[in-house]
Structures are given as structure tokens and as C-alpha cells.
Amino acid sequence: MTSPTVASLTVVCGPMFAGKTTELQRRIALAAASGARVLVVKPARDHRYSPSHIVTHTGTRVAAQPVATLDEVARTEADLVAIDEIHFFARDAVAPIDALRARGVAIVVAGCDLDHFGEIFTPFDELLPRATEVVRLRGTCARCGAPSTHSERLVATTDRIIVGGATEFVATCAACFRPSRR
Ligand SMILES: [Zn+2]
């Protein structure tokens, strides 16, 4: 008797400008090259560069389906679902990912594991213990050049989720990080 298997969950995380989307695109290309059916999704609210692609900060593009919630892809026939900017889905990401994995659909997600308050970004508190693989990337601290771990908001806000790029954020190390004030 075989026991039911739960498909893999790969979590790619780290601060902004650490190469998370590039790593996600690499995983997508590897899976597609091995013959897997890959569905790429992104939060519909992320319109920074393109509504229908995931785009790295350096401009590399992969076609992606924009969704308001991950329930929209619950019936996918894909072998692998790749999700960029997973933190935009917050807690609502968790149950759909569990359900897809139970159906045998592998998942790879990318996003910021720490918010601009320096606190763990939901849903990473729930995804990291579930992960079969964690890739925590670091970039370069904008102030001292050490490896970066944090994403610092340059403009004051109390909103936790902000769609932004290089004019709104810098990546820093823990020592240089100045958390947003509530
Ligand atoms: Zn630093």
C-alpha cells in the first residue's frame, strides 16, 4: 500500500533586489525543460512592470496569469505552480497551497520574508515550516555593502503591503536597517 504523497513546496525568500524573481524564473525554466506543465501566477495588484508577466528588476520577463486570489487556480492541470510576490496574498495563500499540494501539484513561491517593519511577513510564518526546500537569498546592503536581509521603506507609511521598486525601498543588512514607524 502506498501512502499519499504531498507535492513539494519550494520557498524562495529574502529582501528586495536579492534576485528572488530571477531564481523563480530559473526554477520555471528548469521544470519546463524537463517536460512539466508549469503555471505561473502573480498577484493582480502588482502592476509595477507588467500586468501579465513576472519581471525582474533587470527586465527579464516570463508570462504569468494575474489572479486576485489563489483559489482561481485551484483546478489547474499544471504539475508545478510558480507564484511570485507571495506576500501580497498574505494569509489567504496558505489554504490554496495546501490544497494544490494535496492534489500532487508542486509549488514554488517567491517573496519578501520580512516586511518593512523588520517582522516576518505573512504567510512566511506558515509557509516556512511547510517547505520542503528554502532558498533564502541575500543581496547587497545599500549603506555598507554587507549582505542584505531587510527591505527598508524610504517613504513613511503604516501600510504593510506596498507595491514598490527602487524609489520606494532599499535593501539593507540588519545593522543598517531602520524599521518603519507605526
Ligand atoms: Zn549595512
Question: Residues within 5 Å of ion ligand 1 by Cβ?
Answer: 141, 143-144, 146, 173, 176
CB-CB contact of 110 with 20 (8 Å): yes
Q: How far is the CA of 172 from the centre of ligand 1 (A)?
A: 5
For residue 118, report the distance from its CA to the centre of ligand 1, in Å. 14
Q: How far is the CA of 164 from the centre of ligand 1 (A)?
A: 21
- Model pTM? 0.88
Buried b (16+ CB within 10 A) or exposed e, 133-144: eebebebbbbbe
- Per-residue pLDDT, 52: 72
pLDDT digits (tens, 9 = 90+) for 99-126: 999 999 999 999 999 999 999 999 999 9
Q: Which amino acid is at 28?
A: I
- As a whole number of angstroms, the distance between CA 18 and CA 14 comes to 6
CA dihedral 178→120→92→169, nearest 10 degrees, is 30
Q: Structural domains in the chain?
A: 9-137 (3.40.50.300)
Specify the pLDDT at position 51: 65
Active-site residue set:
85
pLDDT tens per residue across span 7-55: 999 999 999 999 999 999 999 999 989 999 999 999 987 555 566 777 7
